[in-house]
Amino acid sequence: MSVRINLDLDTLRTLSVAHDLGSLARAAEQLGRTPSAISLQMKRLQDDLGASLFRKNGRKLVLTEGGVVALDYARRILNLHDQLLDTMQGASMAGQIRIGCTQDFASVLPSVLSHFSSLYPRMQVELRIEGNAALAAAIIKTTEPREALKTKEQIAREANDALFDANAKELRKRQRENLRFNQDRCDHIAGGSDLSEQRDVHGRTSIVWHRTDAQIDVGVCTTCDRHFHPEDALDAQGHDYTYWRRKPSFNKLSTAGFRQFMNPLKAQHDSYLRDS
């Protein structure tokens, strides 16, 4: 296997410039080299390629057929090379830049900024044209920490989450309103609300009373889930805790976490059997 030589990119660029300018001497001037250095580069390139690239035509530099092919490849190679550099260093640079400027210098900005944005298409430029005092204040403000830039995905996800939260909040609010509505309408009488026909014949409540460790009786209505505490304010029906506590409960008092409440229909049935 033969060992390949590596062509020098700098030499390929000299070839391209020399062809554009029409002479090695002008290329040397443009590239800041001596004419002999340029000549040497071209000689080495011809040696590496094993072909003669130029033919003299008076003072003008003319390419041979091999030279045309070499120039074509050289330009493609340089193009790819330059693209690589641009991509890695320039075009891939993304972010935000803030420019503050006084009115005096604002006239040069359009051309400068359009050149900048063509070099760095993913950079966002924020421009402020202000007086000196406002610019100084803005500089002080930018030294304060600010929020990192968000990706499109992050913004979309956050918007989605916010919508979801708002919906969930609205749902919980409606559930609370619904519960409150039912509690206000419930007369806590065994068997259900006034919409129910299953009332307890003895007017007993559907409240389960539970004696806490502190020996306080707290209740919960099995129909509407309303809780009864000694410190309760008057309810929608104008009754307080004492009123409901005095009422006979359909359920047994439970203690220490043991709760027992009975089936109101079965109780009616039992009392029917007992009374008849």
What span, in angstroms and rounded, lies between the C-alpha atoms of 276 and 274? 6
Q: What minimum distance in Å lies between the beta carbon of 242 and Zn ion?
A: 17
Choose between 67 and 219: whose C-beta lies nearer to Zn ion: 219
In the complex, residue closest to Zn ion by CB: 221
Nearest approach in angstroms of CB 272 to Zn ion is 24
Q: Is the Cβ of residue 218 or residue 221 nearer to Zn ion in the bound state? A: 221
The CB-of-223 to Zn ion minimum distance in angstroms stands at 4
| C-beta of 65 vs 194, nearer to Zn ion | 194
Closest distance of CB 201 from Zn ion, Å: 18
Contact 217, 253 (CB under 8 A): yes
**In the complex, least distance from residue 226 CB atom to Zn ion, rounded to whole angstroms:** 5
Beta carbon of residue 185, minimum distance to Zn ion (angstroms, whole number): 9
The residues, ordered by sequence, that sit 6+ positions from 51 with a Cβ below 8 Å of its Cβ are 64, 66, 67, 70
Specify whether the CB–CB gap between 208 and 249 falls below 8 A: yes
Q: Which amino acid type is present at position 132?
A: N
Residues 171 and 175: their CA atoms lie apart, in Å, by 6
Residues that bind Zn ion (CB under 5 A): 186, 188, 221, 223-224, 226
Least separation in angstroms between residue 224's CB and Zn ion is 3
**Which tokens belong to 128?**
């402020």
Residue closer to Zn ion (CB basis): 42 or 186: 186
User: 28 or 207: whose CB is closer to Zn ion?
Assistant: 207
Shortest distance, CB of residue 186 to Zn ion, whole angstroms?
3
| Contact status, residue 44 vs residue 11, Cβ threshold 8 Å | yes
Closer of 186 and 208 to Zn ion (Cβ): 186
Looking at the Cβ atoms of 27 and 186, the one nearer to Zn ion is 186
Nearer to Zn ion (CB atom), residue 19 or residue 226: 226
